[in-house]
Structure 1
């Protein structure tokens, strides 16, 4: 395991002074425009009579909704007072309509960033995918196709049942109320102000779920099917990004900060494709693990400063990778080796 590179950690602290303040104009404009394009694309895909237009609009909608949805990641890291109203508006425009309110990530993702829990059995967002059997990778990605239907069942069936039956409520909260990939993760009950936040968000997704179901009897099943197809593509994009966000080579032992950094992935410029499949700063995922509170719009400049200062052959450069296909090939090759015998 890599020992901590103190020079890199010092540079990350010293070279990023002047960065780190969330800029409301960027957050609001980016989120609102992304959501607007996404919903417009879904509408065009629903009403158009041309298959080509439907497919093009659906692809644009999936990418735009994907970008809008990923602001859930920023919500887990920015200070609650940094962007007044942003969390509420995001939930009303994106989180609740996509049946993925912010509580499903808040309080969960921060565990993934705890130094002693990253990559262990307690990490909700980690699996040693590189050490599993080869068939686990396509299964990991394709299961995301079911996400919209699974979220609808959760909101329309499990949430109201949980309101009546404590055992169902406990089961739903522990197993189906977090955006996690670790099947052994069990979420702890919410407390205090967060519990109140959860209640109103759960009520919102419950109402919206039944509005979606009712829409089938008003406008037919095709609009909902098209919207769910778009959101299935969004979910697959997110799962592909998750697949290459880390190298997934840890078997459950606690890791140093530098080892966590090197197990994470940056896909920096000059390539532009990463802006589509890893938007909202997530192409700098390794850097994000060094500086989790850095706003997404400051990550490119932070990366430029560190890359310029630390240079070729540095530990920092070791987390930089050329693109998704190279990373998928690396992980797939690893699963075919001697370590790829582990069950998912």
Structure 2
């Protein structure tokens, strides 16, 4: 991905008011048709994913992550173990975020990638791709984004201040939840239709909306779900049994769980700034959805906390089928082609810190309500 210059407008906005940025009026916003037309026309040649880039990026990230995880387990000194743990979290976080690409890929253009990703990372980390497939695409549905039917949306900016630390705490406990989901509830649900409905509906998706309940899978997706769940359950049950019997010492087990927790927390932080979270449940136009989403195109740090193209999250909502490695070029083209009056520049922000401050300030305003 290219390193791009920041649009000046959001930089000036944050410099003038780094915390109390104005709320964008989303309800009833008309579409910026010039922006939508430019987005479609200027990126037609960028739509094909590169197998070489996908496989190389994923395999190198996973290999580095597992090597660093081994280092964190085996390092004799605490300092080296912690340093290795940080590298493991960052590398496995990047590798795990290919689950987002899997949900959007036309798999005929990248044969075997979903299977390879699940075998090498999804199943060993108890995070098979069915947990996101069939969930994330609803988030991109024109009439469901930001509504009660969206599994990946909560109006966090309009909620009480305590919701933000709770939001992060849930991710901290994610590896325990995955261990219970695949090591206990999943196998037990095979003997109870009622429990199975609960497991499928409530505990089989990476969702943040507690009101969302997913439907049972059908057809080819049901077959994908089945082998992925079996694999993740074998991993989870094996871990539980080996730890309980002393075959697996506590240190490697706890290190493995801590790394998964670190990946989950980092992803949850990214999620907090993926949108402005200012929609109150109404269906929105594509432009309004775009402006409720966030690009952080400049600097080095976004490559770490929003890798695999997710620093261009607003642009991704404009062009959800665009492969991650093409988003930088698409952003460059659109930034050059569209003037400052275009809505395109309104979703570009300079820093994670400024976005977190904006969100926290918004929740503080709800305290008196």
Shared fold, TM over 0.5:
yes
SS in 1 for 2:310: coil
Deviation at 1:16, TM superposition (A): 1.0
The 4+ residue runs of structure 1 with deviation greater than 3 A are 338-341
- Say whether 1:272 aligns with 2:305: no
Partners of 1:126 and 1:181 within 8 A in 2: yes
Unaligned runs of 5+ in 1: none
Partners of 1:131 and 1:340 within 8 A in 2: no
Match of 1:284 among 295, 312, 331: 312
Q: Distance in 2 between matches of 1:49 and 1:7?
A: 59
Partner of 2:229: 202
TM-score scaled by length of structure 1: 0.97
Match of 1:244 among 273, 279, 282: 273
- Say whether 1:259 aligns with 2:288: yes
TM-score scaled by length of structure 2: 0.91
Report how many aligned residue pairs link the two structures: 340
- Say whether 1:128 aligns with 2:159: no
Partners of 2:72 and 2:82 within 8 A in 1: yes
Partner of 1:329: 357
Q: Relative contact order (alpha carbons < 8 A, sep ≥ 6): 1 or 2 greater?
A: 2
Partners of 1:130 and 1:340 within 8 A in 2: no
Partner of 2:114: 87
Partner of 1:231: 260
**Equivalent residues in 2 for 1:178-193, closer than 5 Å:** 178-193=205-220
Deviates further, 208-217 or 140-149: 208-217
**Equivalent residues in 2 for 1:297-316, closer than 5 Å:** 297-316=325-344
RMSD (Å), alpha carbons: 1.1
Partners of 2:161 and 2:364 within 8 A in 1: yes
SS in 2 for 1:189: coil
Partner of 1:59: 86
Partner of 1:45: 72
**Deviation digits for residues 31-61 of structure 1 (CA, Å, limit 9, x no counterpart):** 0010101111110000111111001000000
Partner of 2:322: 294
Q: Distance in 1 between matches of 2:162 and 2:229?
A: 35
SS in 1 for 2:365: coil
Partner of 1:214: 241
**Deviation digits for residues 209-242 of structure 1 (CA, Å, limit 9, x no counterpart):** 1222233221311101011111111100000000
Deviation at 1:312, TM superposition (A): 2.8
Q: Distance in 1 between matches of 2:181 and 2:121?
A: 17
- Say whether 1:104 aligns with 2:131: yes
- Say whether 1:170 aligns with 2:215: no
**Deviation digits for residues 45-104 of structure 1 (CA, Å, limit 9, x no counterpart):** 001111110010000000000000000000000102111111101000111111110001
Partner of 2:18: none
Partner of 1:320: 348
Deviation at 1:313, TM superposition (A): 4.0
Match of 2:51 among 9, 15, 24: 24
Q: Distance in 2 between matches of 1:159 and 1:97?
A: 16
SS in 1 for 2:46: coil
SS in 2 for 1:158: helix
Q: Distance in 2 between matches of 1:140 and 1:91?
A: 26
Deviation at 1:323, TM superposition (A): 1.3
Deviation at 1:339, TM superposition (A): 8.0
Q: Distance in 2 between matches of 1:266 and 1:156?
A: 38
SS in 2 for 1:219: coil
Unaligned runs of 5+ in 2: 1-26
Deviates further, 331-340 or 302-311: 331-340
Partners of 1:134 and 1:340 within 8 A in 2: no
